Structure 1
Amino acid sequence: MFGGDTLYELRCSLQLAETEREGGFAPHVSPFTAVNDLGHLLGRAGFNTLTVDTDEIQVNYPGMFELMEDLQEMYRNDDGSVPATYQIYYMIGWKYHDSQARPAERGSATVSFGDLGKISNLMSQEKKSQ
């Protein structure tokens, strides 16, 4: 789904132009979802082991006459094109089934991640002794 920063160049330019001409602005583009809201929604729907990822894609379009003049003044590329940024959210959530293994409880680890760095030292010492 499209993320909260999608088409920010267009939205900012429309808001600035309308504020200059009308003294205020009304939203012309529907609001988009914020990434942290997605995790909350998935959790409330009963999903767990959640992953929400985001990509930002910028597409450059040729200018569009007078309507895009304000946008071009603010965000114009050197080649004269006008960028449009799309933020894309990817969501994954799982619901556990009784037949699935469950992850260990948080804090139940018996080895510290800090100790993992010592493994390579131990292995190199072992090779030297052989």
Structure 2
Amino acid sequence: MTQAPKSQPELFDHSALRLHRNRHQAEALFLHDLARDEVEDRLTMVNRTFTAPAIVTPFAEIWRGALPNSKIVADEEVLDLTPGAHDLVIHAMALHWANDPVGQLIQSRRALAEDGLLLAVTLGGRTLHELRSALAEAETQVCGGLSPRVAPMGEVRDLGGLLQRAGFALPVADVVPLTAQYRDCLHLMRELRAMGEGNVMAQRRRSFSPRALFARTEAIYRQHFELPDGRLPATFELVCLTGWSPSETQQQPLRPGSAKMRLSEALKVPETKLPD
């Protein structure tokens, strides 16, 4: 199993993460419900019947009954998955909190039988970009500097690259953008805590923040993003990753120069010679 290198400082405090998740409120897990819907929709488009699925998730209750014969495991640093035992692994809404995301994907690939499917859903780079920018500007003005408050999220291109690094074949990454609306910043921050998605950055500020910081954040948020009805939008970006464990039976890309017809012949257009 692949683990985060202990010689490097960890980005996230997983002890704090477990505490936050233990305090979650079921009605606030709408992102996890949407992730499940997205996974179920995508599986209907795969011409395959999966008989031994595994689901990696921090909230097992969301996934109970989703797939017959599924094994549900927690998103621990070392996943409780048996190598080669599954034809489908779903990694659901947990990769953005992994100190070693490539390690999580490698473990998922090793758990797959040959030609098995990984379907991962995680939060992407534009998630909470409004809150992130408002907090950064407010903290600079009020506190004279920045501290880690909103976790960094991977961009879709970078997350797709992780699939290749983990050894998956036919990797695909795409984005499902979502926008929620809130009365004010306090409403948004309370909902994030209810989701179990509060700040668990290892280098986060441990002391209480001044009230002036949040008042200034609210003002900046409204200045730049307020909707006509006075509510505040918050972006959540779901990134969906799919990849297959390698198999000789999978479609392979053609070798360069192996085409049997010139592109101009296929398109039935005259070929234009480029200048030297």
11-20 vs 31-40, which moves further: 31-40
1:57 aligns with 2:178: yes
The percent of aligned pairs where both chains have the same amino acid is: 35
Using a 3 Å threshold, how does the CA distance of structure 1 residues 16 and 38 change in structure 2: closer, same or farther?
same
Partner of 2:221: 71
1:108 aligns with 2:258: yes
71-80 vs 58-67, which moves further: 58-67
**RMSD, aligned α-carbons:** 2.3
38-47 vs 11-20, which moves further: 38-47
Q: Deviations over 1:34-75 (max 9, x none)?
A: 222222221121112111111222222222464633312221
1:32 aligns with 2:153: yes
1:4 aligns with 2:154: no
1:91 aligns with 2:91: no
**Structure whose alpha-carbon radius of gyration is higher:** 1
Q: Distance in 1 between matches of 2:163 and 2:241?
A: 9
Q: What's the CA shift for 1:87?
A: 1.4
19-28 vs 61-70, which moves further: 61-70
Amino acid at match of 1:17: A
TM-score by length of 2: 0.39
Partner of 2:51: none
Where in structure 1 are there 5+ consecutive unaligned residues? 119-130
Where relative contact order (Cα < 8 A, 6+ residues apart) is larger, the structure is: 1
Q: Distance in 1 between matches of 2:230 and 2:262?
A: 54
Using a 3 Å threshold, how does the CA distance of structure 1 residues 55 and 113 change in structure 2: closer, same or farther?
farther
Indicate the SS of the match to 2:240. Answer: strand
TM-score by length of 1: 0.76
Partner of 2:139: 18
Indicate the SS of the match to 1:57. Answer: strand
Q: What's the CA shift for 1:97?
A: 2.0
80-89 vs 34-43, which moves further: 34-43
Count of paired positions: 119
1:80 aligns with 2:201: no
